[in-house]
Amino acid sequence: MNRFAFALAVGACCAFGGPANSNALRTPTLTPAGPIESIFDWNASRCADDDIPDTPLRAVRVSPTSVVAFSTHFDNRRFLGTSLSSIVRECAVVFAGEGSPNPEDYSDRVWIASTWSDDGRTIFALGHDEYQAHRHPGRCRFLTYMQCWYNAIVLLRSDNAGRTFSRVGERPVASVPIRQDVDQGHNRGFFEPTNIVKRGAAFFVLIRAGPEGAQKPGTCLFRTNDLTQPESWRFYDGAGFSANVDPYRDEVSSAKPCAPLKGLKGIVGSVVYAAGYDAYVAVSDFGSNNPGESGFYYSVSRDLIHWSEGRIFLPLATPWSPACGQDHFAYPSLVDVDSPSRNFDVVAGDPFLYFVRRHFDGCQGTLRRDLVRMKLRLSPSDGIPP
């Protein structure tokens, strides 16, 4: 998942379901409250040159004294530690796509992008699957990554606390109702799922859609009541939740587009339930040529569908920023290291923002990417999000 190439081209269960204190029904705000701290230094800790943090951080508490986490490349490696403040990279590859030349296999290069576990042993994951057609002879008449990129979201499963993962089923969780073709000419599909959050008995995730036919670009909401089946996921279409259509296995003439959610700014990295506010908080990265507009943003929602307009809380250069000679930042993830949730989808105190720093050599980006974090303050302000 090369986010930097783009520059070139719910909550917890019922225990957290209601107002918890006097801050409930007030809008949470985010502000920086500490310096940038290094978690993974590419120079010192990489297992290979392409061992880079290339997704937002996801984590599962697999036991009272052990946490497994992922922020990885398509040769997926995990972090392990006694807490999220002590995670270290393990060099064993826990999952990799098969490099299949067939787009209908949905198994070319796959990034672990979302995780969920009920017991700490069985971990379900959503994988960002890139069919990179320029790498497969005869599959794309163009030569560049972006012009030949076909993307879908797939389901993975680990039964050993994240030591290894395997693919679940043949069908995707999310795919656009049009096949990959040699004349594509642009990136196509669903991209970069956030972490999974639980709301009541259902599981939810935000997934970015690219423009394609009736499908408008933006962030869409998906849900399921059964994490074990990829075909169980449904997307919000503006009125209800519709089933995904696989263009290689289904009739597509009646396929509906998902409805992009208003308010969310840029590409959403994560969403968490703020227990003391009875609200969800999403963080995203956004780039602009206008000074002061590039950086990390947050939005707030009561229902995961209606979101407040994105507000910048950390101005900095992102992959879309034109500036040379400085680091660029991406993949924000809001995490309470002491979360009461095994899956860190609940924020009960002041969280950290985990994100990726990419070093540049002049105007050229390098492979050197570090995972870093910054302490934030979650505090109330007057007003209720729409």
User: Given pLDDT bands bounded at 50, 70 and 90, which one contains residue 3?
Assistant: low
- Looking at the domain assignment, is residue 199 inside a domain? yes
pLDDT in tens, 146-188: 999 999 999 999 999 999 999 999 999 999 999 999 999 999 9
Which of 136-140, 198-202, 261-265, 317-321 bottoms out in mean pLDDT, i.e. has the lowest?
A: 317-321
* pLDDT above 80: residue 384: no
pLDDT in tens, 334-353: 999 999 999 999 999 999 99
Mean pLDDT in residue range 98-104: 98
Contact between residue 289 and residue 334 where contact means Cβ atoms under 8 Å apart? no
Mean pLDDT in residue range 234-262: 96
Output b/e per residue, 16-27; b: 16+ Cβ within 10 A: beeeeeebeebb
The share of the chain scoring above pLDDT 90, in percent, equals: 86
What is the tally of structural domains in the chain?
A: 1
User: Given pLDDT bands bounded at 50, 70 and 90, which one contains residue 26?
Assistant: confident
User: Given pLDDT bands bounded at 50, 70 and 90, which one contains residue 324?
Assistant: confident
pLDDT at 127: 98
- Looking at the domain assignment, is residue 222 inside a domain? yes
- Looking at the domain assignment, is residue 386 inside a domain? no
Structural domain range at position 7: 3-381
> pTM of the prediction?
0.92
How many angstroms separate the most distant Cα atoms in the chain? Answer: 62
Spatial neighbors of 281 by CB under 8 A, at least 6 apart, are: 28, 30, 271, 272, 274, 298, 299, 300, 334, 347, 378
pLDDT at 252: 95
- The residue ranking higher by pLDDT, 364 or 148, is 148
- Looking at the domain assignment, is residue 58 inside a domain? yes
Rounded-to-integer distance, Cα 68 and Cα 342, Å: 11
Contact between residue 189 and residue 207 where contact means Cβ atoms under 8 Å apart? no
Mean pLDDT in residue range 41-51: 96
The share of the chain scoring above pLDDT 70, in percent, equals: 92
From the number of C-beta atoms within 10 Å of its C-beta (0-12, 13-18, 19+), residue 14 rates as: exposed
- Looking at the domain assignment, is residue 350 inside a domain? yes
User: Given pLDDT bands bounded at 50, 70 and 90, which one contains residue 292?
Assistant: confident
Rounded-to-integer distance, Cα 180 and Cα 141, Å: 12
**Is 191 strand, coil or helix?**
strand
User: Given pLDDT bands bounded at 50, 70 and 90, which one contains residue 126?
Assistant: very high
* pLDDT above 60: residue 23: no
pLDDT at 383: 53
pLDDT at 363: 84
CATH number at 118 reads 2.115.10.20
Amino acid letter for position 17:
G
Mean pLDDT in residue range 8-30: 51
Contact between residue 20 and residue 278 where contact means Cβ atoms under 8 Å apart? yes
